[in-house]
Amino acid sequence: MILLFVSVVFISILVGMAISVGAFGTGGKRAKIFEDIYFSIEEVDGIGVVYTKKGDYSAVLKMENPVRKYSADTDSYYEFTSLMASVMQVLGDGYAIHKQDIFVRKQFDMSSIKGKNKDAKKRFLSDAYFRFFNGRSYTEATTYLTITQKGKSGGLKAYDNNKWRDFNVKIQKVADRLKSGGITCRFLGARECQEFADRFFAVDFKNPTTGMTDFKVDSEEIGMGDQHVKVYSLLDVDNVGLPGMIRPYSDTVVNNSVMPEDLLSELDHIPGVDTVIYNQVIFFPNQKREMAKLDKKKNRHASIPNPSNLIAVEDIKAVQDEVARNGKQLVYAHYNLVIKIEADKDFQKVTNNLENIFAKYSIHISKRAYNQLELFVASFPGNCFRLNQDYDQFLTISEAALCLMYKEHQAKGDNSPLKCYYTDRQGVPMPIDTTGKEGKVKYTNNSNFFVLGPSGSGKSFFMHVIWTKTHRKEL
């Protein structure tokens, strides 16, 4: 009897273990999750093409956001939205765009811009000026746009020459469309794509060389040595908190004047944060199939006439009217923030800060992003189709999705031999060509100018720069 009881218990334990392994795996699959991302990266006609093991292939554009921060140019925000909407029309069904805005906290290094003249006496005043700012903290922003075509279900074995040709043609069209819209962009080569993927893996866009470390993953964060990373999903699909109307910018008051700014303009100065990566992913589904799904959903709600279902029917009709009359696209979107801080710091302050940022626009970030590792892996460049469509994506109109894209860049000064350095809004030196005619971009061809300003405004400093450049024949 005892032997029978022991046998039953032992068999029950084995069955339970089998069910557990079948449902959750042994842990080996998660341990090798990074090995299952990329197949290879090769260069095709000067363009780095990234292949994933699921058969998707991607090209990466390095670009500069078109709207200058604090420019107060409302039209620029709408122009960028229209430009990206036209890019979506070019790509079409089966493609996705993954825009990554990376904000890195750095310290100003005077050696990058100080004079290289061997005669130190001639550079004494300039070097003393830069030395004053040496080590000052500032945020550097970099933007990448990854264009991905979804592969066939058979993976890399199911090669389709027509799809490959279509991919090559369309990525060139996208680059040309962006350049025609005034956006500076270029394709990364194979080596640059490899470095980009490595730096994203280490979440290190600051140091000259990157190093990998062990990962410690739980439902709240990812530990990386003396750093830890948390992925914030912007929206919870089970409880989507979005305003009824959204614009590509918001209004802020500066000195009693209303001025436009990006909805996410505060991402570049979150207190205590070393690195922020804002992932913006938009998928382009088959439009007829999505419209048919909306019709089914509308009929399902209409079959039970209660107040909540009637509201749902009205919302679906409004979307269908917008698509039919104005030619809008239905897209699936996903947004997340990958944030890295020191291991001895707590994410609670960061979470509170983000909630305050998005609460101004009635957007509530997800509090149930427990799939930290899966979100991080799906945020790798070219790997966006790993996102769970049922849980990590939501359906919306293309223009609404584009409003949540980051559109701004910091002013970088003039590319000119006549560099008069003033500080930007971050407090680090920025070259300004006050003549407007010596730089790469010509603002005027007038050689005469008159320096006027109150006491202490920098008239003498400016004239010293003009005299120094002229005396050394650097103009």
Is 219 inside any structural domain?
yes
Per-residue pLDDT reduced to its tens digit, 267-322: 988 998 999 999 999 999 998 999 998 899 888 888 888 888 888 888 888 888 88
More confidently predicted of 411 and 445: 411
Indicate if the pLDDT at residue 114 is higher than 80.
no
How many domains are contained in the chain? 3
CB 139 within 8 A of CB 445: no
Indicate if the pLDDT at residue 154 is higher than 60.
no
Is 297 inside any structural domain?
no
- Give the confidence band of 24 by pLDDT, cuts at 50, 70, 90: very low
Are 233 and 379 in the same domain? yes
Task: Give CA 108 to chain center in angstroms.
Answer: 23
Are 24 and 166 in the same domain? no
Is 122 inside any structural domain?
yes
Indicate if the pLDDT at residue 250 is higher than 50.
yes
Are 20 and 107 in the same domain? no
> What pLDDT does 158 receive?
66
- Tell me what the pLDDT averaged over the chain comes to: 84
Is 307 inside any structural domain?
no
Q: What's the rounded mean pLDDT across residues 394-399?
A: 90
Q: What's the rounded mean pLDDT across residues 120-143?
A: 82
Indicate if the pLDDT at residue 167 is higher than 60.
yes
**For residues 199-226, b (16+ Cβ closer than 10 Å) or e, as one string?**
ebbbbbbeeeeeeeeebebeeebbebee
Are 247 and 176 in the same domain? yes
Are 18 and 50 in the same domain? no
> What pLDDT does 209 receive?
85
**Share above pLDDT 90 across residues of the chain, in percent, rounded to a whole number:** 39
Per-residue pLDDT reduced to its tens digit, 83-106: 999 999 999 899 999 999 999 999
> What pLDDT does 451 receive?
82
Separation of alpha carbons 34 and 351, rounded Å: 27
Are 116 and 81 in the same domain? yes
Per-residue pLDDT reduced to its tens digit, 323-380: 888 888 999 999 999 999 998 898 999 999 999 988 888 888 888 788 899 999 999 9
Is 1 inside any structural domain?
yes
> What pLDDT does 47 receive?
93
Q: What's the rounded mean pLDDT across residues 219-246?
A: 83
Are 160 and 17 in the same domain? no
Are 47 and 27 in the same domain? no
| Residues spanned by the domain of 14 | 1-31
- Give the confidence band of 62 by pLDDT, cuts at 50, 70, 90: very high
Is 463 inside any structural domain?
yes
Is 322 inside any structural domain?
no
> What pLDDT does 21 receive?
46
Indicate if the pLDDT at residue 25 is higher than 50.
no
Indicate if the pLDDT at residue 132 is higher than 50.
yes
Separation of alpha carbons 49 and 171, rounded Å: 11
Are 6 and 149 in the same domain? no
Handedness of CA 229, 97, 406, 401 (dihedral sign): negative
**Share above pLDDT 70 across residues of the chain, in percent, rounded to a whole number:** 87
Domain boundary at 364, 381, 409, which? Answer: 409
Are 211 and 271 in the same domain? yes
Are 141 and 114 in the same domain? yes
- Give the confidence band of 111 by pLDDT, cuts at 50, 70, 90: confident
Domain boundary at 388, 409, 430, which? Answer: 409
Are 4 and 137 in the same domain? no
> Across the strands, what pairs with 106?
138
290, 322, 173, 186: CA torsion to nearest 10:
-100
Is 313 inside any structural domain?
no
Lowest-pLDDT range, 90-94, 193-197, 238-242, 428-432? Answer: 238-242
Token digits for 226? 């003396």
Domain boundary at 409, 436, 455, which? Answer: 409
